[in-house]
Chain A
Amino acid sequence: KAGVTQTPRYLIKTRGQQVTLSCSPISGHRSVSWYQQTPGQGLQFLFEYFSETQRNKGNFPGRFSGRQFSNSRSEMNVSTLELGDSALYLCASSLQDTYEQYFGPGTRLTVT
């Protein structure tokens, strides 16, 4: 079974721009969560979607948003990029009724 896939793998953007990251979960997984990983803050929860609905949201500004499609694929968007948004963005998927999350390879975002 194929794992979680994320595109693009690497991205360089300029401060003030916006960016959209994509995630395809493991087949059959309907819950998709997003995390930000930085050396200073570690792994931090952004939000979680199930059946196209956001069920949980972390403590991030409104510039961070996401959505989920009917095929469970998910996107996250960051608007008005700041230098501090440079991070590894990780997507994880889960089966319904289990909280075990399986991570994709991540998207490395660099904001200059």
Chain B
Amino acid sequence: QKEVEQNSGPLSVPEGAIASLNCTYSDRGSQSFFWYRQYSGKSPELIMSIYSNGDKEDGRFTAQLNKASQYVSLLIRDSQPSDSATYLCAVSVSGYALNFGKGTSLLVTP
């Protein structure tokens, strides 16, 4: 079973700070990478997708991919209390079968 690893947290950051979430994966053939946000009792919500090395920005979110290091990260700028949730990293080798990490719990304190 190919692994997707995330620090379970909780990661605690003050309001307005940058939250940095990290994810490593074991399968070098991985092609597609995703970040999902999941609030307690809710289903995962897609935040970002990234397919090539480098940075991809969308509003306050930036996804970073380094395939050589098998590493993908998510930066959240100007963190808000409403960003408090579990962030799931998902990786696909091919097609639509996503392999998820266990998630990192983020707590943004006012």
Contact = CB atoms under 8 A, between A and B. Distances in A.
Interface of A: 31, 33, 35, 42-45, 48, 50, 55-56, 58-59, 88, 90, 94, 99-106
A15 B75 CA distance: 44
Contact of B45 (A35, A58, A103): A103
Nearest to A91: B43
Main secondary structure of the interface of A (DSSP, over half): strand
A97 B36 CA distance: 20
Contact of B46 (A45, A55, A101): A101
A94 B32 CA distance: 14
A53 to B, nearest CB: 12
A94 B95 CA distance: 11
A105 B43 contact: yes
